[in-house]
Amino acid sequence: MILVDRPVWPAHGRLWAHLVSDVSYEELHVFAEMLGAPRRAFDRDHYDIPEARFSSALWLGATLLPSRDLAARLRSSGLRRPKHLNR
C-alpha cells in the first residue's frame, strides 16, 4: 500500500510530504513515476514530494496517514532504511 503524510516539512522554500510503500520499493517507484516524481526525490526508503503533488498522490490512491503512523508502518514492513545505511 502506498502511504503519504501531510506536506508539513519545510525545505527549499516549499512544504514537503513523505511517500512510502509498506509492500516494496518497486511498488513505491512505480507509484512515484505515475505521480511524476523524479527518481532523485527518493531518499533511502521514501520519496519527498512537494505540496503541489500531494493532491495528485491522494487521487492516484495513496492513503493519508499521520507522520508517526506512516513511520511505524514503514518500520513494521521491514523497508525502513536508517540514515547510516547506504541508499
**pLDDT tens track for 7-65:** 999 999 999 999 999 999 999 999 999 999 999 999 899 999 999 999 999 999 999 99
Rounded Cα gap, residues 67 and 72, in angstroms: 9
- Does the pTM exceed 0.75? yes
Per-domain boundaries in the chain:
2-77
How many residues are present in the chain? 87
